[in-house]
Every structure is written in C-alpha cells, then in structure tokens.
Structure 1
C-alpha cells in the first residue's frame, strides 16, 4: 500500500516559513510603534496616546516610514541574491540554497525577540531593527524560498502530476497567511511579543532540520557540480538567458506571456490588500474591523481550498491553460463585483465569485516549468520570485495613488482596473492554449505509470541523500 507521506516534500517548508513570516509581520509593526513612542515621549503620553492625537499621528508616520525601510532592507538584497541562487541551485542542488531563508528568518526573529524584552525595548535604538532585516534579505528571504521550493518540486515531479503538486504548494501561501495572522494575534494578546518571536524562531529551526533531514536531491552531472560551484557574474547572464533564449514552438513568447500573467496576478492581489481596508471603511459599507478580518480570511482560504481539493481533480480532464483561463474569468468577475460593491453582502459574494482565483497562480507555475529545461528551473523561478517581490513596491505605488484620485467619482475604479488586467491575462492564456504544445500527453501505459515513475525517482533521491 502506498504511503501518502512519500508525496509530501517541500509543502511543509513553504508553509512553515510563510507562517512564521506572516505571524511576525503585525507584531514587529507594533514593536516598532511602541519603541518609537516610548523613546521620544514620556510614558504618560504613550499610555494614553488617544488623548494626544498630534503625537499619535507623528508616531504612526514614523512607524510607517521605518517599516518601509525594513521592507527595502529585506527585498532589495533578496532580489540581487536570487540572480545568483537560481542558477547556482540548478548546478549544486536545491537543498543548500533552500536552507538559507530559514537561517535568515531565525536571525530576523531573534533580533526582534531581543528588542521586545522590557529591559531592551527602550534602550536599543530603532535603527537596530534594520540589522535583522538585512540578515533576512542577504540570505534570500521570501524570494529564495519561493524559487527553491518550486524548483525542487519541478525536479521531483513528472509532467503528468506537476500541475497538481504545484497547485497544492501555491495553496500553502494563502493557508500560511490564515494560520500566521490568526495564531499571531492570539499569542500576542495572551502572552506578549516575546512568545510570538520565540515561536517564529522555533518554526525556522524545525524548518531547517526538516529540509536537511527529509529532502533528498536529484542526481546531477558530477562534472557540472565541480566546475560550476563558484558563484560569479555569469550566473546573472544565465538567469536572463531564460527569457531571451530562442525556444521551439514559440516557447520564448509563451514564457514571456506567462511571466506577464503571473505579474498581473501578484500585482492585483497585492493591490487589494493595499486599498481594501480604506474601501470597506467608507460610509456606504462601513465594515467593522472584525468582519473585515473574517472577510479577508475567507477571501484567502476559499481559493486555497479550491486549489488543494478541486484543481487536482479537474486537471485530469482539462489542460493547464484551460484551468488558468477559468481562474482568470473568476478573477475578472470577483474584481468587477468588488468595484460596484455598496454593502457587506456584495463583498461577501466576491468570495464565492473569486473561488477559482488561485487557479491562475497555481497552474501557470507548472506550465512554465514544462517549457524550460531541467537545468533552467532555478533560473526561471528566480526571475518569477523577483517579479513577485517587485510587485509589492509597484502595487503600493499604483493603487495607493489611484484610489484617492478616483474616490470622489468612482471609489471602485482600482478594482475595475484589476478586472481589466485579468482580462488581458485571459487573452494571453487562451492564445497559449490554442498554440501551445506543452499540454500534458496522455500516458499509453497503465494508470499507475506516473506514480511508479515518481516512486522510483523518490527512492533514487533518498539513496543519494543517504550516500
């Protein structure tokens, strides 16, 4: 009887890393907030900040600025490092590069744990918050954990089951948000900041041990490993060649269009988080804080469940790009309904309409990995993870500037713009569906063939790891 655990590989890695990261996010924001207030004001003011509005606004402005600094310190080095880590992992394997982000996350959580202690909260200057952020950034952060986990899954899966496996991996991103934000709030309310940072450190330690003890490596050419372990600037060129390289059957154009589709997906879904709180606080809707939290949780969790439970079934009958088109249509409908929402009921309806929203993201990772060769997987996913990291800044710039301008005439215009962007993605995936040779081929042998191939590959990897 087959052991279902043999098919679990990097899913826990991404789940633990993102859970720890998202659990920390609101807590470190509060830590910075308190540090700034108490360092520049006396305790009586900070304990009754609501009575001193001018001080509250000043502290919020400073805290927002410092959180931006932290974001830049994490994102900028991670984008630079990923140029090298992607092609490097293609040559030396995924496991060592995959260990870097948990180490960075451990140092990041440790730096805030020390600063959250009562005796250090006021004595350590706020500038020291950037030290842990830089450690996180130079060890890859979110960018490297994404490229290494997806690349690893591309290594150990067959084309027949890759889409299903990558859709489950993608679902870990939204599930981790639900767990991290929910558990983090409970912990900080009952035990304080210190415990939250300690739990995050524990998750990163467990993650590191899991990667090193559980994950095997795909066999690679020994000569390639010896001659390419030195990291140099040629790695950057190898990464860029993934996009510029001429491929048969319009492969280069398909790859570029798929990059654009995933960029649009990340841009719009990040944009919702930028302006949704302001949109729902308008007099017409006036959603309470608790209801807003429930709505956001449902908006993340429902597409994740559809990815994990429904997409693996549908992928037996539909091609990757057809499933991506379903996701694009669902996204168009969701954002159009959101644009015209005038009450909470309409916003809750967007959860149902957008239930297939995650299909586009989950499916296209697998589609892209089928276009490039095995030794280009890390480079391809490094570009993709860099694009997703860049969208955080780009999305904030676009939608935070558009929303106040269109607010008096049509508050939902940013969401309508998102719907139009997804229409563009729909056009791209439909065209690729009509011209792509990358749809999975039907297996002529027994139905168990893909599973047998995967089991043999897993056994081979374990023998390499134990050897």
Structure 2
C-alpha cells in the first residue's frame, strides 16, 4: 500500500512534467505538444529533442534534492529508532510525504500554465525528501521485521518483504497508463492520495512499536527542543558510522565495507536507469505511457517470479549461501543490460527482463549478509548505514546517467546500460569473495568440532 500508489502516481507525474516542459517552458503550442504526447512525432523531432534535454537537466538536480535530505536524515534516524524503539514513525512520515505530494500535483495540474516545470518538480520532490522518502520507509519496515525475526529465517523473510514491495510495482505500473488515459491527472493523483490515507490509518492503528530495544528507559521526550537534541545526537552518528569500521572476528570490518561497496554498485546503476528509462523508450522506440506501463508491468512480474523462485528454491529448499544468490543475480543483470543496450526492436526490449529474471536477490543477499555480521543490538544501525549508502547513490549516479544519455542521444541511447553492466562486474567479484570466505568459514567450523571418544584429533581431521 506504499509502493503501489507511489508507482501509480510516478508515470502521471512524468507525463505532467513532460507536458509542462513542452507547453509552458518551451511554448511549442497545442499542436506540437499533443502530437508528441500521442507519439506522432514524425514532423516534430527537433521539438522532442528539446523536451528530452530540458527534462533530463531538471531531473539531474531533482535527484540531488530527492536524496540529499534523506541522506542527512539517515545519519541519525537508525540509531534514534534503536534508542526509542520507534519504528512506526519511520513508516508514517514517508506516507505523509507522499500524500502531500499527490495534493501538490493536483494543485499544479489545476494551475497548469501558471507553474513552470522547474517549480512543479521542486514541489514534487521537496516534501518526500523532508519526510525521508522511500529510504526511511524501507529502514522502518526492514528494521521492524528484523526485530521479530531470527537469523535462521531472516534471508527468507526479508526476501518475502522485498517480494511484497516488488509486487507493488507491476500493480502500480499496470494501472497507471490506463487510469491516466481514462481519468486524467486528477483521477490518478486522487486515487494515489486515497491509498496513502488508508495506508497511514493501517500503520497508525494496527502496528505497535516494540518496547524491548536498547536504552528504551532513557527516551523520555519533553518538548520539541529536547526531541531535536535527542534526534540529532552526534554520539548516535558516531555509533552508526562506526559500524563500518568496528573490528571483529573473521575480517568483519572488511566484510562490511565490501557489503557497502556492493550496495553502491547495485543501487547506483538501478537509480540511474530509473531516472532515464521512460524517456529512453519514448525516444528510441516511440512508446507512449500505455506501452511503457505494459512493459514495466511485464518486467516487474518476471522480476517477482524470479525473486520468488530464488528465495524459495535456492535459499529455503537448497540452503544456498547468500553469496550464491548474489552471484546469480548480478550475472543475470549484466546479461540483461547488454540485451537492452543494443536493442533495436520492441521484441528485443522485452527480451531483457526475461534474460535478467533472476536479478531480484542482490539487495536481499546484501541485507542478509550485513545483518549476520553484526550483533542483534546493532541491527538498526547497520540498516541505517545500509540505507545511508543507498540514498547517496542517486546523488552520484543520476547526474552521470542523465549527462551520458544526453551526450549519446544520437549515437547510442542505450550506452547507459553498458555503463550499468560495467558497474555490476565488480559486484559479481565481491559475491565471489564472500562465497570463498563462506566455504573457508564452514571448513574452520568443521575443524573446531571436538573428536568423538576414542578417536585422535588427527583422525577426526582426516
């Protein structure tokens, strides 16, 4: 109920921004902009290029705002939620932010010609950023689930949570294009706002914060000033950042640093591609919002099926190590990126999600590995650090992908996907190292088993 309405409104927001860029900022007129929206661009290629370039440049700074403020919040919110036991607020704030964004989009639709695309995008991004956005929502949900989950079942249950989030994408994308054509901007934003309101009521009235977390007795809050002091506590900041540099057995510090590197190499290209995917298929294959909606739904359904297959078969039944899931997932991603980079037809574009069907367990494997490297009392902090690294990626990768897309627009628009493949190769090597370490750990554990009565240690080793 969070991901689905967010995605439902996302495509409508992109079309609203494209329409404003064409009609309001560039002033091309109804004939040109209507033709571009209906994908009848044969006589308007120059105008389409100008719209694409304007939107790409706006989205570059949008990503900085969208991730910069949540990055600051992530420095403190994980340790704060550990100390106070307040996981629920980490879920409620992003819901409020998305609801308010829908209201602002309705206002910007009503004031269509009065508000240019730059201000529309700014209002679209600033409220979710101030309330934490998706990153804080994920921190809250994963921390809440980790509070009630054992290590033995964590990979599988985190996988189910990720799968539930993933399912929201095809539902939202499948409905967005159709509803936009039938109900228009007002209808789509109104439905999304209603879903967020229902979600808020469910979280507020049905979920309860746990009370056993560390230092719970020290969290009495007396007024706003006291709250701000406790939230922006630099000791908590040191504790959160110190997780990555804290020494421990079996190269703990190195392993956590490699996990965070893997997060960068996975989420960076993912965020970069999301930033340009719609305008890429719109330009390269002349797709409209309905075609893109159908493709996105198809892609995410395959993604969900692959994730379910991986966690149920490889993880639950076969007991495969997290690193194996990661290697399979990242290899699948590389193959899919190569397919779409050189795609010339719609069929070839549709082949890409099929090739990378197993690319759904990278984040699951990374989260599971990270959670098993720390003590139970450090779970909130490690997820905060995980989320912090994730929030920083669009700051770096979204401008890179936008600039590369504009630079290669008339040469190879799919060059951005070659960049994704290049970034993913080191991620495969990281998972390979983790698998090697896992085998070494298992061997050492077997050697530590005491010999049975009457047998010598040498005999036991052999």
TM bracket (short chain): 0.7 to 0.9
State the partner residue of 1:20.
5
Superposition pairs for residues 416-431 of structure 1, below 5 Å? 416-431=418-433
State the partner residue of 1:46.
30
CA deviation digits over 1:125-170, x for unaligned, max 9? 7637634632221111112111111111211111111111111222
Question: What SS class does the counterpart of residue 219 from structure 1 fall into?
Answer: coil
State the partner residue of 2:260.
259
- The alignment's C-alpha RMSD in Å is 3.5
State the partner residue of 1:11.
none
- Shift of the 241–415 alpha-carbon distance from structure 1 to 2, 3 Å rule, reads same
Q: Is the 8 A contact 2:64 2:395 kept in 1?
A: no
State the partner residue of 2:448.
none
Deviation at 1:19, TM superposition (A): 1.8
- Shift of the 343–195 alpha-carbon distance from structure 1 to 2, 3 Å rule, reads closer
Q: Is the 8 A contact 1:69 1:130 kept in 2?
A: no
State the partner residue of 2:89.
96
State the partner residue of 1:364.
366
Q: Is the 8 A contact 1:403 1:411 kept in 2?
A: yes
Deviation at 1:338, TM superposition (A): 4.1
Report whether the alignment pairs 1:190 with 2:192. Answer: no
* Mapped partners of 1:353, 1:54: distance in 2: 34
Deviation at 1:236, TM superposition (A): 2.1
Q: 1:387 aligns with which of 386, 389, 413?
A: 389
State the partner residue of 1:298.
298
* Bigger shift: residues 219-228 or 101-110: 219-228
Deviation at 1:302, TM superposition (A): 1.0
* Mapped partners of 1:351, 1:417: distance in 2: 17
Superposition pairs for residues 231-310 of structure 1, below 5 Å? 231=231, 232-273=233-274, 293-310=293-310
CA deviation digits over 1:316-355, x for unaligned, max 9? 3212222222222322333344455555554444333311
* Bigger shift: residues 260-269 or 62-71: 62-71
Superposition pairs for residues 54-93 of structure 1, below 5 Å? 64-93=56-85
- Shift of the 209–28 alpha-carbon distance from structure 1 to 2, 3 Å rule, reads same
TM-score, normalised relative to structure 1: 0.77
Superposition pairs for residues 39-188 of structure 1, below 5 Å? 45-46=29-30, 48-49=32-33, 50=35, 64-93=56-85, 94-117=87-110, 120-123=111-114, 127=119, 130-131=122-123, 133-188=125-180
* Mapped partners of 2:279, 2:52: distance in 1: 16
Q: Is the 8 A contact 1:166 1:363 kept in 2?
A: no
**Matched residues, number:** 420
* Mapped partners of 1:423, 1:61: distance in 2: 30
* Mapped partners of 2:422, 2:345: distance in 1: 23
- Shift of the 178–376 alpha-carbon distance from structure 1 to 2, 3 Å rule, reads same
CA deviation digits over 1:109-137, x for unaligned, max 9? 122223323xx434567637634632221
* Bigger shift: residues 225-234 or 352-361: 225-234
- Shift of the 438–233 alpha-carbon distance from structure 1 to 2, 3 Å rule, reads farther
- Shift of the 24–293 alpha-carbon distance from structure 1 to 2, 3 Å rule, reads closer
Superposition pairs for residues 295-374 of structure 1, below 5 Å? 295-316=295-316, 317=318, 318-339=320-341, 341=343, 343-374=345-376
- Shift of the 342–97 alpha-carbon distance from structure 1 to 2, 3 Å rule, reads closer
Deviation at 1:101, TM superposition (A): 0.7
Q: Is the 8 A contact 1:367 1:438 kept in 2?
A: no
Deviation at 1:381, TM superposition (A): 2.0
- Shift of the 195–211 alpha-carbon distance from structure 1 to 2, 3 Å rule, reads same
Question: What SS class does the counterpart of residue 248 from structure 1 fall into?
Answer: coil
Which structure 1 residue ranges, 5 or more long, are not aligned?
A: 1-15, 442-467
- Shift of the 333–208 alpha-carbon distance from structure 1 to 2, 3 Å rule, reads same
Question: What SS class does the counterpart of residue 29 from structure 2 fall into?
Answer: helix
* Mapped partners of 1:237, 1:347: distance in 2: 46
* Mapped partners of 2:32, 2:420: distance in 1: 41
Deviation at 1:40, TM superposition (A): 6.4
Deviation at 1:91, TM superposition (A): 1.4
CA deviation digits over 1:94-115, x for unaligned, max 9? 1122211111112221222233
Report whether the alignment pairs 1:29 with 2:30. Answer: no
Q: Is the 8 A contact 2:329 2:360 kept in 1?
A: yes
* Mapped partners of 1:354, 1:84: distance in 2: 36
* Mapped partners of 1:243, 1:111: distance in 2: 39
* Mapped partners of 1:235, 1:425: distance in 2: 30
* Mapped partners of 1:115, 1:281: distance in 2: 24
